[in-house]
């Protein structure tokens, strides 16, 4: 097999494992009613499953980043799929809630290993110019796992029962683990494991160095700010809000959840191309996506009475776009760290969105409980107060994005790179459009007064905010 075909084959197997991981991640949410009946769960106990999974996932990110830098993506992806298979088996045979929780925790641990490992795999196999787009496409294809859990897996539970369905899912993950172990390679060279020197102490020092870089911090807060609202909606509170709060039928709510997945798929390549084409303005994409989500929620929450389906569709699309936008955080990690620290940096960034989701999930539940909604279906008014929890999380994220963008640009200025204001960039482009190639020498540039300072205006400067 040629090198060009091999890289796509390796990537395809890695993506297959990621799709399987997302299927496992969302499988319990897709059959929540069956879980309530099987394990005699209350609403708060069911939410505990979601929170536990996110806590394990977020807590595993930095350890996984260290391990992928030392052992390579192949070991972590195959091991993650094997862990998920074990966790799904526990869920299949569990007779009480304790074993079910243990199974869910194991699933979360395995799921945590996959995406960060793929982020480490991509730069080793593909040129830098296509990595941002492939990162988005990987995330986009992973969302197919949600469709698998919502449609065929949920149908299988209804037709064949809980045990058979989850054992079938466990078998699929075991096959994915075997395939990953046989096919994946950490790099195009013959080695299957990266050469990494040093001890765990050195690895921990690498984490500290990665975390100290303003680009990693900017990536962390970008990922903190953009996906959590969609995670809260898709993982737990969206369906109850639409049915109990907005009065949609179950079929109508399920249809909007499908819209969520489709919008996520459609937005991913567009945002990936924007990031690759305009790397100097990545932070503006982050801030813009937060503004879109906050505005959409404000429109729904302020609507007199129940919002029409059109407005709810706008909300769902806005929340779905936050997922692809969160990939910008990983692009900051990639452009701010060498390959030997990329796993640790990506792990730190990946934990941010799930940390924000945990805060929002717990906050929504707490506000509902304070209003006395824990014993039954919350009303629309109770949901409206609870959903306001999103705004403090967004405010914190935006403040930190602005803070670390300023620090990153200061670091770039110290290195002789200046990011020009947009008005200067557009003035240059307008001037060039009217004068043509011959007029470029006389075009006004921000570096005229200081020839020693390099002005970053093109897409080749990958470390700019």
Residue-by-residue DSSP string for 108-170: HHHHHTHHHHHHHHHHHHS-TTTHHHHHHHHHHHHTHHHHHIIIIIHHHHHHH-HHHHHHHHH
Is residue 23 located within the same domain as residue 89?
A: yes
Tens-level pLDDT at each residue, the chain (465 residues): 677 788 899 999 999 999 999 998 888 777 777 887 788 776 667 777 878 888 898 888 888 888 888 888 999 999 999 999 999 999 899 888 889 899 999 999 999 999 889 988 888 888 877 887 888 888 888 888 888 887 888 888 888 888 999 999 999 999 999 999 999 888 887 554 444 545 566 667 777 888 889 999 999 999 999 999 998 898 778 888 998 899 998 788 888 988 998 898 888 888 888 887 777 788 999 999 999 999 999 999 999 999 999 999 999 999 999 988 998 998 898 888 887 787 778 888 988 998 999 899 888 888 888 887 755 678 899 999 999 999 999 999 999 999 999 999 888 888 777 777 767 767 777 777 777 655 544 444 443 333 334 444 433 334 446
* Pair (152, 224) in one structural domain: no
Q: How many CB atoms lie within 10 A of CB 46?
A: 17
Domain hosting residue 425, numbered range? 419-455
Q: Considering its fold, how many domains does the chain have in total?
A: 3
Q: What is the pLDDT of residue 240?
A: 83
Structure confidence at residue 293 (pLDDT): 97
CA distance 151 to 258: 10
**Do 77 and 151 fall into the same domain?**
yes
pLDDT at 198: 53
Both 91 and 180 in one domain: the answer is yes
Please indicate, yes or no, whether residues 51 and 109 belong to a single structural domain of this protein: yes
Same domain, 295 and 355: yes
Orientation angle between helical segments 339-370 and 380-387, nearest 10 degrees: 140
Q: In angstroms, how far is CA 366 from the centroid of its own chain?
A: 25
Question: Quick one: 401 exposed, middle or buried, by C-beta within 10 A (0-12, 13-18, 19+)?
Answer: buried
Contact 21, 80 (CB under 8 A): yes
In a domain, 20, yes or no: yes
Instruction: Identify whether the C-beta of residue 323 lies closer than 8 Å to the C-beta of residue 230.
Output: yes
Given this model, what pLDDT does residue 40 score? 79
Q: Does some domain include residue 462?
A: no
Q: What is the pTM of this model?
A: 0.75
Residues 153 and 271 in one domain: no
- 207 domain residue, yes or no: no
Residues 45 and 22 in one domain: yes
Classify residue 196: in a domain, yes or no: no
Q: For residue 97, what pLDDT is reported?
A: 87
Alpha carbon distance 374, 377 (integer Å): 8
Cα separation, 28 vs 464, whole angstroms: 40
Give the model's pLDDT for residue 463: 46
**150 shares a domain with 267:** no
């Amino acid at each position: 097999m040629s090198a060009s075909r091999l890289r796509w084959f390796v990537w395809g197997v890695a993506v297959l494992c990621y799709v399987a991981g997302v299927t496992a991640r969302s499988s319990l949410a897709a059959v929540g009613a069956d879980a309530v009946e099987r394990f005699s769960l209350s609403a708060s106990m069911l939410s505990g499953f979601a929170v536990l999974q996110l806590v394990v996932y977020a807590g595993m990110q930095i350890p996984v980043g260290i391990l992928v830098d030392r052992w390579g993506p192949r070991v972590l992806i195959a091991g993650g799929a094997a862990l998920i298979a074990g966790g799904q088996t526990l869920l299949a045979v569990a007779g009480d809630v304790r074993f079910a929780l243990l199974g869910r925790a194991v699933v979360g641990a395995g799921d945590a290993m996959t995406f960060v490992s793929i982020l480490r795999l991509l730069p080793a196999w593909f040129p830098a110019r296509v990595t941002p787009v492939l990162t988005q496409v990987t995330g986009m294809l992973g969302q197919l796992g949600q469709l698998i859990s919502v449609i065929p897996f949920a149908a299988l539970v209804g037709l064949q029962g809980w045990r058979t369905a989850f054992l079938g899912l466990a078998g699929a993950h075991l096959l994915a683990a075997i395939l990953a172990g046989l096919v994946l390679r950490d790099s195009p060279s013959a080695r299957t494991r990266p050469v990494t020197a040093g001890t765990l102490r050195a690895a921990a020092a690498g984490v500290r160095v990665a975390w100290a870089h303003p680009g990693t911090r900017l990536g962390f807060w970008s990922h903190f700010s953009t996906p959590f609202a969609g995670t809260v909606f898709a993982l737990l509170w969206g369906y109850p809000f639409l049915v109990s709060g907005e009065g949609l039928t179950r079929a109508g709510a399920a249809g909007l959840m499908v819209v969520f997945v489709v919008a996520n798929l459609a937005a991913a390549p567009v945002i990936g191309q924007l990031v690759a084409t305009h790397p100097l303005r990545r932070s503006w994409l982050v801030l813009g996506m937060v503004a879109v989500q906050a505005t959409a929620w404000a429109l729904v929450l302020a609507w007199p009475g129940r919002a029409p389906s059109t407005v709810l569709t706008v909300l769902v699309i806005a929340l779905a776009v936050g997922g692809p936008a969160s990939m910008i955080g990983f692009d900051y990690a990639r452009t701010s760290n060498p390959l030997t620290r990329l796993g640790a940096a990506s792990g730190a960034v990946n934990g941010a969105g799930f940390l924000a989701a945990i805060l929002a999930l717990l906050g929504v539940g707490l506000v509902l409980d304070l209003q006395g909604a824990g014993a039954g279906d919350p009303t629309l008014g109770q949901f409206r107060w609870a959903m306001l929890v999103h705004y403090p999380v967004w405010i914190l994220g935006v403040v930190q994005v602005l803070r670390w963008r300023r620090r990153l640009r200061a670091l770039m200025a110290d290195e002789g790179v200046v990011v020009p204001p947009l008005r200067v960039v557009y003035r240059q482009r307008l001037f060039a459009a009217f004068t043509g190639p011959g007029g470029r020498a006389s075009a006004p540039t921000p570096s005229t007064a200081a020839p020693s300072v390099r002005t970053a205006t093109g897409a080749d400067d990958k470390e700019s905010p």
